[in-house]
C-alpha cells in the first residue's frame, strides 16, 4: 500500500555522500502545498468536520520558542483528527489590531500618531527606521492617523511573512489558503456587521466610565494588556475628622497621594467598629473635603484598620465601589 504522499513528483530516494537537513523543510513544504495535503474540503458535511479555531497570534515582530511550543500542541490534535478520518478545518490568521501593533510601529519607525494632522499623500517612512540610536537623536515624528495606519499595514505585512515562514518551516499542517489578518478588509467588515447587530439588540451602548490610559503612547489600554507586578510598599496612616468632634477615623493606605481624589470611606457592613458611622460624613486631611462613610462587602476588615479610602480612581476596586455605591467622580 503506497504512502499518501507517494507520487511521481516525490523526491527520488537516494543516499547522499554527506547526509544533511539543509533545505528539507522548504522542499517538503512546497510538495505539500502543490498537492493540497492539508487543504480543507468544503464539500464535506458538517458532521465530518473537525474545526480548529485558534486565537490568531499577535504579530509583534518578536518570535520565540513559545510560539512554536503552543502551536505544536494544536497541530498534534489536527493530525490525530485527520488520521481518525475527520476533515480538519485549520486556518491561520494574524492579530494585527491593538496596542502591540501601535507600539511596534511607533518604536520601529520613530513616529507618533497625531490625529489633528491632515493626511500627507507624499509621506514616506523615515529612512532611519529600525535604528534606535538615530531615532532617539531626532525624536519622534508626528504624523496623521491615516499615515500611521499606512505604516501599520507596511510593517505588519513584513512581520506576517516572518511568522508564516517560521510556521511553514516547523511543518504545521495548516491550510494556508484559509489565511486571514484581523485588519484586512474582510475581517473589518465582519467585525462592523457584528457590532451593528450588537447595537440593534441593545447590547452595545455608550456610558461615561473610567478607562486605563497609557501616558506615554497617549491611548486607552485594554485590561488584557496589563501586567501586574508586586512592588514594595508601606502603610501610611491618615486621620479623617468627624464633624461632631468625635474621635478621628484612621485609615491605613499605601497610596496617601490619592487623598486628593478621595470621595468616601468604606468598611465592611458587618464590621461592628464602623457600623455606627455608616451614613455619616467625615472630612479629609489636608483638603478638608466632606465625604460620606459607606458600607460595602469588598472592604476587608483584616486589612489595615478595616476602613479604606475610595478614590476615583486608584484601582479597579475603586471603580467597582464608585459604580455600585453611586459616588461622585
Predicted local distance difference test score (pLDDT) of residue 1? 45
Number of domains in the chain: 2
Buried b (16+ CB within 10 A) or exposed e, 261-296: bbbbbbbbeebeebeebeebbbebbeeeeebbbbbb
- Residue-wise pLDDT for 185-209, tens only, equals 898 899 999 999 999 999 998 887 8
Same domain, 64 and 170: yes
Give domain status of residue 17, yes or no: no
Among 227, 261, 289, give the residue marking a domain's end: 227
197 and 150 part of one domain? yes
Same domain, 189 and 249: no
Q: Are residues 101 and 201 in the same domain?
A: yes
Confidence at residue 60, expressed as pLDDT on a 0 to 100 scale: 72
Same-domain check for residues 223 and 242: no
Domain boundary among 197, 227, 257: 227
Mean pLDDT of 122-133: 92
Same domain, 269 and 215: no
Contacts of 180 by beta carbon, 8 Å cutoff, 6+ apart:
56, 91, 92, 93, 94, 186, 187
pLDDT in tens, 253-312: 999 999 999 999 999 999 999 999 999 999 999 999 999 999 999 999 999 999 999 998
Query: Among residues 198, 227, 256, which one ends one of the domains?
Result: 227
As a whole number, the mean pLDDT across the chain is 89
User: What is the rounded radius of gyration, in angstroms, for the C-alpha atoms of the chain?
Assistant: 29
Query: Is the same domain home to 254 and 209?
Result: no
CB-based burial label for 108 (10 Å; 0-12, 13-18, 19+): buried
Residues 55 and 184 placed together within one structural domain of the fold: yes
Q: Would you say residue 2 lies in a domain?
A: no
CA dihedral 96, 100, 104, 110 (to 10 degrees): 120
Q: Which candidate, 284, 282, 320, places its Cα nearest to that of 299?
A: 320
* 15 in any annotated domain: no
Residue 16 placed within a domain = no
180 in any annotated domain: yes
- The predicted pLDDT at position 309 comes to 96
Of 181, 157, 166, 179, the C-alpha closest to 65 is 166
What is the per-residue pLDDT for 6?
Answer: 52
Q: 67 and 100: one domain?
A: yes
Q: Is residue 216, in this structure, part of any structural domain at all?
A: yes
Q: Provide φ and ψ at 222, rounded to 5°.
A: -75, 150
Q: What is the pLDDT of residue 221?
A: 83
pLDDT at 9: 61
pTM for this predicted structure: 0.64
The CATH number given to whatever domain includes residue 43 is 3.40.50.620
Q: What is the mean pLDDT of residues 104-116?
A: 92
Do residues 213 and 278 share a domain?
no
Within-domain flag for 7: no
What pLDDT does residue 67 have?
A: 77
Tell me the pairing of strands 262-267 and 290-295: parallel
Rounded to a whole number, what is the largest CA-CA distance in the chain? Answer: 97
Whether residue 251 lies inside any domain: the answer is: yes
What is the CATH classification number for the domain harbouring 277? 3.90.740.10
pLDDT of res. 222: 80
Residue 292's domain spans which residues? 236-324
All three cell numbers of 21: 537537513
Do 108 and 202 fall within a single domain?
yes
Verify that 141 and 185 share a domain, yes or no: yes
Residue 11: the pLDDT is: 62
Amino acid at each position: 500500500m503506497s504512502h499518501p504522499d507517494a507520487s511521481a513528483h516525490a523526491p527520488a530516494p537516494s543516499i547522499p555522500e554527506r547526509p544533511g537537513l539543509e533545505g528539507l523543510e522548504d522542499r517538503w513544504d512546497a510538495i505539500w502545498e502543490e498537492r493540497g495535503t492539508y487543504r480543507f474540503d468544503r464539500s464535506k458535511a458538517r458532521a465530518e468536520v473537525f474545526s480548529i479555531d485558534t486565537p490568531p497570534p499577535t504579530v509583534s515582530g518578536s518570535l520565540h520558542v513559545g510560539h512554536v511550543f503552543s502551536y505544536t500542541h494544536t497541530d498534534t490534535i489536527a493530525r490525530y483528527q485527520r488520521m481518525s478520518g475527520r476533515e480538519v478545518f485549520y486556518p491561520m490568521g494574524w492579530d494585527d489590531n491593538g496596542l502591540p501593533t501601535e507600539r511596534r510601529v511607533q518604536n520601529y519607525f520613530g513616529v507618533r500618531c497625531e490625529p489633528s494632522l491632515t493626511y500627507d499623500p507624499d509621506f514616506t517612512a523615515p529612512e532611519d527606521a529600525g535604528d534606535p540610536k538615530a531615532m532617539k537623536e531626532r525624536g519622534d515624528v508626528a504624523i496623521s492617523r491615516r499615515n500611521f495606519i499606512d505604516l501599520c499595514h507596511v510593517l505588519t505585512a513584513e512581520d506576517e511573512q516572518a511568522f508564516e515562514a517560521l510556521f511553514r518551516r516547523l511543518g504545521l499542517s495548516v491550510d494556508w489558503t484559509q489565511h486571514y489578518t484581523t485588519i484586512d478588509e474582510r475581517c473589518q467588515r465582519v467585525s462592523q456587521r457584528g457590532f451593528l447587530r450588537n447595537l440593534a439588540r441593545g447590547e452595545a451602548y455608550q456610558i461615561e466610565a473610567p478607562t486605563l490610559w497609557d501616558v506615554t503612547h497617549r491611548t486607552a489600554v485594554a485590561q488584557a494588556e496589563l501586567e501586574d507586578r508586586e512592588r514594595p510598599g508601606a502603610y501610611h496612616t491618615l486621620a479623617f475628622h468627624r464633624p461632631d468632634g468625635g474621635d478621628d477615623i484612621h485609615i491605613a493606605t499605601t497610596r496617601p497621594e490619592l487623598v486628593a481624589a478621595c470621595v468616601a470611606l468604606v468598611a465592611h457592613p458587618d464590621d461592628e467598629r464602623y457600623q455606627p458611622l455608616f451614613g455619616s460624613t467625615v472630612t479629609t486631611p489636608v483638603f478638608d473635603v466632606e465625604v460620606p462613610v459607606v458600607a460595602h462587602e469588598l472592604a476587608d476588615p483584616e486589612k489595615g484598620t478595616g476602613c479604606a479610602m475610595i478614590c476615583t480612581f486608584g484601582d479597579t476596586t475603586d471603580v467597582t465601589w464608585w459604580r455600585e455605591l453611586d459616588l461622585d467622580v
